[in-house]
């Protein structure tokens, strides 16, 4: 597995205090999706997790995974736009 880098970081608000994190690659996104996600199991969450894992295997481009992650973060109301 390789780290697939996004063309542009994704900024999300995490934790009780709402601190922001800049996610630059699929490994960071997978970590957030698997350990600190509010709505695990939603269709967009599962799609983002699958896309990020596929990007680390080289099956899809990092920006396909980024877009799926952005949609999941928007759905979870953690995307900072």
pLDDT, averaged in runs of 10, over the chain (81 residues): 92 89 97 90 96 96 98 96 89
What values do phi and psi take at 68, rounded to 5? -65, -40
What pLDDT is stored for residue 16 in this prediction?
80
What pLDDT is stored for residue 74 in this prediction?
96
Long-range contacts of 18-26 (CB under 8 A, 24+ apart): 20/80, 23/69, 25/62, 26/52, 26/53, 26/55, 26/56, 26/62, 26/65
Q: Enter the pTM of the model.
A: 0.94
On the CB side of 41, how many CA atoms lie within 13 Å of its CA?
Answer: 0
């Amino acid at each position: 597995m390789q780290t697939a880098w996004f063309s542009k970081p994704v900024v999300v608000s995490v934790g009780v205090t709402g601190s922001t994190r800049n996610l630059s690659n699929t490994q960071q996104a997978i970590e957030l999706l698997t350990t600190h996600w509010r709505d695990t199991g939603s269709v967009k969450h599962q799609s983002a997790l699958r896309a990020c894992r596929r990007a680390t295997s080289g099956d899809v481009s990092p920006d396909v995974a980024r877009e799926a992650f952005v949609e999941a973060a928007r759905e979870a109301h953690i995307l900072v736009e």
